[in-house]
Structure 1
């Protein structure tokens, strides 16, 4: 996976991960991650902001759209290809942080790019 593909989401029923997925549950291979609360406002950096709830101490987490492996509209579930621990270990996102912070997005992209290369 390259830095560009980290941010490229899968095709969805609308052609992309659109506003319709807000409120969907997010599932990692090892369990629930949380609920989508918003999407990226930054062109070229598609990502999900997820309310991770209790397992992340009330924090939100950010997962690049390229980590999405599937969307089940009937069940209102988005599946991601990284584990909960990998998401927890990603560069920390603060709930009030601007998701348009390019420095943060580049750090996050590098982290997930390394994961996909087997270095994470």
Structure 2
């Protein structure tokens, strides 16, 4: 598992500062996908869980922290370097197993297929 995948980029989030992004709206490169339901900030293990609401029938998705390209506290938005389709096609989120290393490895393999860091807003 590539540790950088599970870290926020240095230009996006300063690990020395406190920021709670739960409730922020989430924007893929091609539009809104939902809002942050949960976020972690541990080095090498950071991710966000997005509640997609009606976009994909109320499902949640887990995204490695490296997919975040920008956090805008004034607008309360998180921007991602992935399209809606890439996010929709990710391995299905499972509330019971998402913290297990096997799921994280599968998710990591999926997101590692895309260029690291993706586009920038």
Change (3 A) 1:18 1:43: same
* C-alpha displacement of 1:116: 1.8
* C-alpha displacement of 1:98: 3.7
User: SS where residue 20 of structure 1 aligns?
Assistant: coil
Q: What whole-Å deviation, never above 9, does each CA across 1:27-77 have from its counterpart, x for those lacking one?
A: 011001111111248762210011011111111001100011011110000
Change (3 A) 1:48 1:10: same
Change (3 A) 1:114 1:13: closer
Confirm or deny that 1:52 pairs with 2:67. no
Deviates further, 75-84 or 98-107: 98-107
Deviates further, 3-12 or 24-33: 3-12
Q: TM-score, with normalisation over the residues of structure 2?
A: 0.83
Name 1:24's counterpart in structure 2.
Answer: 24
Name 1:106's counterpart in structure 2.
Answer: 105
Q: TM-score, with normalisation over the residues of structure 1?
A: 0.83
Change (3 A) 1:17 1:24: farther
- On the 8 A contact 1:29/1:82 being kept in 2, the answer is yes
Name 2:114's counterpart in structure 1.
Answer: 115
The separation in 2 between residues aligned to 1:42 and 1:100, in whole angstroms, is: 13
- On the 8 A contact 2:7/2:43 being kept in 1, the answer is no
User: SS where residue 15 of structure 2 aligns?
Assistant: coil
